[in-house]
Amino acid sequence: MSIENNRREVNSTDEVSISTDLVEDRLRSDFWREVTRPFYETTPLIGSESPLEGTIKSRQVAGLQIGSVTFNAQRYNRDRRIIAWSGLDQYLIAVVAADMSGNFADTSVKARPGDICVLDLAQILQSDVTAGGMFSTLIPRQILAKATGHANLHGLVLQAHLPMTKLLTTYLGGVGDLRDQLSDGEAAAVQDALVTILAAALRGEQPDDAGELRPLSIALRQRALDFIDHNIQNPDLSPNLILRHFNVSRAHLYRAFAEDGGISSVIRDRRLDAAFLELTRTDVVTRSVSDIAFALGFSNATHFLRGFRTRFGLTPSEARRERPSGQLAPELQAHFLEFGKRASSLSNQQHETPSV
């Protein structure tokens, strides 16, 4: 059954369980890599000879993706390739039950059991974790970003002993225990309350130079991003086109994107991401690399190749050869359901007794 069909079977009260315990030892590492691929490239820690192991329990409650994960010692890497391919653009709020340390977009991060760590899934990271687990939820970017003034939250850690951390942990656990379908109004209230508490806690952990945007810049930034995404294949897409479309000053536009390296960098990076997605898709008619680059507004092949390699660490031709074996469904719960079924199938095959 395809993931597309699986999506129609999933409702918000379904809990999907996946475990490498159902998979024979020799298949466990590859299986776990595929399960966790929307989030990371998962590998054993250096020097470890044990296969990757883990379990996931995931469900959708009150409009939120709630999950609990256990794992042995592992290394996680989220690079530009995974960010572009997965399409995940939320914040992952993780209550950690392991020791975690790593580099979150050039920021050193350490979290201990009981801490809450914020992962911005639009930013890169590399992290090592000891055997343990975490309880987490995904929060839509626009909701939390608006509540925190669009400050950079990637890698912020709320320590376990803080009162707000304890409150958040209890609240998340209560949301995760909900079993009945909530009304739309109740679900919205649950999500709003979580964001309010979380934003209040995070404001206390943000550095003084976090650089919150003013409301007008926030509104312009989101409208400009939407405009870029809808016009990504328009060869005339440029800062000047955006200035004319929204009738704003150059200073206002550049201030809204100062933390991103400027509006020109945002346009270039989103075009490169679109090129990567087309090169790695298996469900579209194949076009040449030059045709894809030209259609996305790159008139200079050398600049395109250089930018692509810088962003993704490989050439467009290499990206095409290393494309994923399948397409990730936009619905994350459907992805988990697919692998839950696959684990059960592998377990049944493993325990089948050959006929005499």
* Per-residue pLDDT at 219: 81
CB 64 within 8 A of CB 175: yes
CA distance 286 to 292: 9
Both 90 and 161 in one domain: the answer is: yes
For residue 183, is it within any domain? yes
H helix runs in the chain, sequence order: 3-9, 25-36, 80-86, 141-147, 163-176, 184-203, 215-230, 239-246, 250-256, 263-280, 289-295, 301-312, 316-321, 332-351
- Which of 171, 203, 235 is where one domain is finished? 203
How is residue 72 written in tokens? 């042995």
Both 132 and 223 in one domain: the answer is: no
β-bridge partners, 158: 116
Both 112 and 259 in one domain: the answer is: no
* Per-residue pLDDT at 39: 95
Both 82 and 174 in one domain: the answer is: yes
Both 160 and 101 in one domain: the answer is: yes
CB 90 within 8 A of CB 140: yes
DSSP state of 306: H
For residue 347, is it within any domain? no
For residue 107, is it within any domain? yes
Question: Taking the C-alpha atoms of 283, 288, 294 and 298 in order, what is their torsion angle to the nearest 10 degrees?
Answer: 100
Both 199 and 313 in one domain: the answer is: no
Domain range for 231 is 215-321
Both 132 and 239 in one domain: the answer is: no
Q: Give the tens place of pLDDT for each residue, 57-66.
A: 998 887 788 9
Q: Which residue ranges in the chain fall short of pLDDT 50?
A: 1-12, 210, 326, 329, 353, 355-356
* Per-residue pLDDT at 60: 85
Please give the mean pLDDT across all residues of the chain.
86
CATH code: domain of residue 25? 2.60.120.10
* Per-residue pLDDT at 356: 39
Counting the structural domains of the chain, the total is 2
Both 103 and 229 in one domain: the answer is: no
* Per-residue pLDDT at 85: 87
* Per-residue pLDDT at 282: 67
* Per-residue pLDDT at 270: 94
* Per-residue pLDDT at 281: 77
Both 199 and 219 in one domain: the answer is: no
Both 53 and 139 in one domain: the answer is: yes
For residue 339, is it within any domain? no
Both 127 and 193 in one domain: the answer is: yes
For residue 344, is it within any domain? no
For residue 331, is it within any domain? no
Both 193 and 233 in one domain: the answer is: no
CATH code: domain of residue 263? 1.10.10.60
